[in-house]
Amino acid sequence: MATTFEPAVLTRDTEMELLPAEPDGALYRRLYSYMLKCRMVEERIRVLYRQGRFAGNYFAAVGQEATEVGVTLDLLAEDTIAPSHRNFVTHIMKGTPLPLMFAQIYGRKTSPDQGRSAPAHCGYAPLNVITPSSTIAAQLNIGTGIALAYKMQRRRNVVVALSGEGSTSLGFWHEAVNFAGVRRLPILFVVENNGYAESVPVALQTAVSDISVKAAAYGIPGISVDGNDVVAVYAAAREAIDRARNGEGATLLECKTYRWYGHSEIDPAKYRDPAEVEFWKSRDPIPAMERRMESVDLWTSQWKKELEAEFNREIDEAIAFADNSPQPEGDEALDQVYSFSIRERELERKTWEPRFAGRLAK
């Protein structure tokens, strides 16, 4: 896809130059297998939802795997991901144990949030994934703060902050990107432009055709890439992350992609033209990568079958863990409001009797 904005023009040629030499194709194999795993995990979650196996809702990024994987591959444990509600699968990239992710979906006591937030709102402190909230773009601003701390602490860590194109309409989005520009923070803002913010098409969000141009207003590089081309996404993200690690500040990366399903599992997405959906499904990032790899003898259908069998086994085990995990007890709702307990305050309200020392005569 056409790239847009100086100085970071990215073409297929430069993309290939950016890739490290890797005669065994290890990078391509990892990009591909992670995309496949993300797809399988989310399709399984959708099945579980339709089977009524968990309450709440889910926000699938199916169709957007090239972006989810390309911007998060090879992050360090100490790097932070600042996710939105649609970036559940980035946990797979960070290394969050799959059983904990399914416990999150099931709202069990064993989940990272012990059943507090919502199925898709998974955070994971040991690997620095911020627990998401539902207020759009909030994670970007918190991400800038983490990047600020990294800079103050002289650490070479980075923040990858993800949001959708709808978030760019909020003032909060602009506060975050502006602040990162002013202070040259080590952060990559990824805008997953999947065409729709819930039901509203991108043309009603913004009058620009490439969201990356918004970077110009904040003095940072902006790049738009084909968000369904995992190699292009990875190459652009890698360059931006390397620059951030080297103290050269923030980047805005727009990945143009498409959300195959509705905003959530309760949204049939009837506001979209079926032909448009079919067009984007024909641009599925996973078969595209298969064709690319097959042309250089890096992919066979047999290998894919082996991967699928392995991932299905992992997913089955994770679901079994979630199924066998206890529900939180009701009164655990009183815990972790503060660093101290409020149980006594809430559960034991005592009554005071008069003990008038000097009651005034009426």
Partner 1 sequence: MAVMTYIDAINSALREEMARDPSVFLIGEDIGKMGGAFRATKGLLEEFGEERVIDSPLAEGVIVSSSIGAAMAGMRPVPEIQFVDFITPAMDAITQQAAKLRYRSAGTQTCPLTVRVCYGGSVGGGLYHSQSNTSWFIHCPGLVVVAPSRPYDAKGLLKAAIRDDNPVMFFEHKKLYRSMKEEVPETDYTVPLMKAAIAREGKDITAISYGYTLQLTLQAAEQMRQKHGVEVEVIDLRTLAPLDTDTFLESVAKTSRAVVIHEDNRTLGIGAEVAATIAEQAFDCLDAPILRVTSPDVPLLPAAAELEKFCTVSADKIVAALERSLAY
> Does residue 91 carry a catalytic annotation?
no
Query: For residues 143 and 262, which CB has a smaller minimum distance to partner 1 in the complex?
Result: 143
Name the active-site residue from 271, 313, 343, 345. 271
Instruction: Tell me, residue by residue from 121 to 160, as one string, x for binding to partner 1 by CB under 8 A and - for no binding.
Output: x-x-x----xx-x-x--x--xxxxxxxxxx-xx-------
- Please answer whether residues 115 and 54 qualify as being in contact, where contact means their C-beta atoms are separated by less than 8 angstroms: no
Stretch binding partner 1 (CB under 8 A), from 205-213, 224-232, 306-314, 354-362: 354-362
Q: CA–CA separation, 312 vs 317, rounded Å?
A: 9
Closer Cβ to partner 1, 57 or 131, answer by number: 131
Per the annotation, the verdict on 259 as an active-site residue is yes
311 sits near partner 1 (criterion: CB under 8 A) = no
Q: Which is nearer to partner 1, 137 or 288 (CB)?
A: 137
Does residue 76 touch partner 1 according to CB under 8 A?
no
Tokens of 319: 């679901």
Does position 345 interact with partner 1 (CB under 8 A)? The reply is yes
100 binds partner 1 (CB under 8 A): no
Q: Establish if 330 lies at the interface with partner 1 (CB under 8 A).
A: no
What is the closest distance, in whole angstroms, from the C-beta atom of residue 272 to partner 1 in the complex?
30
Answer for the pair 170, 138: CB distance below 8 angstroms, yes or no: no
- Helix, strand or coil, per DSSP, at residue 321: helix
Beta carbon of residue 27, minimum distance to partner 1 (angstroms, whole number):
29
For the chain, strand residue ranges (E) read: 80-82, 159-164, 187-193, 196-197, 200-201, 222-226, 251-256
Minimum CB distance to partner 1, residue 130 (Å): 7
**With CB under 8 A as the contact rule, which of the stretches 1-9, 193-201, 230-238, 339-347 interacts with partner 1?**
339-347
Q: Is 162 in the site for partner 1 (CB under 8 A)?
A: no
Q: Token pair of 46, please? A: 């959708």
| Closer CB to partner 1, 125 or 207, in the complex | 125
Query: Two tokens at 81?
Result: 């991901």
Q: Count of CB atoms within 10 A of residue 308's CB?
A: 13
Q: What six digits make up the tokens of 72?
A: 């998060």
Q: Please give the Cα distance from 76 to 74 (Å, whole number).
A: 6
CA neighbours closer than 13 Å in the CB half-sphere of residue 74: 13
Catalytic residue among 44, 91, 108, 263: 263
| Orientation of helix 26-50 relative to helix 98-106, angle to 10° | 20
Total residues at interface with partner 1 (CB under 8 A): 53
What is the x/- site pattern for partner 1, positions 175-214, by CB under 8 A?
xx-xx--x--------------------------------
- DSSP, residue by residue, 60-102: --TT-HHHHHHTTTT--TTSEEE--TT-TTHHHHHT--HHHHH
Mark whether 263 is an active-site residue. Answer: yes
163, β-bridge pairs: 191
Instruction: Please report, as a single letter, which amino acid is at residue 130.
Output: I
Which residues are catalytic, by number? 259, 263, 271
User: Binding residues for partner 1, per CB under 8 A?
Assistant: 80, 112-114, 116-117, 121, 123, 125, 130-131, 133, 135, 138, 141-150, 152-153, 171-172, 175-176, 178-179, 182, 335-339, 342, 345, 349-360, 362
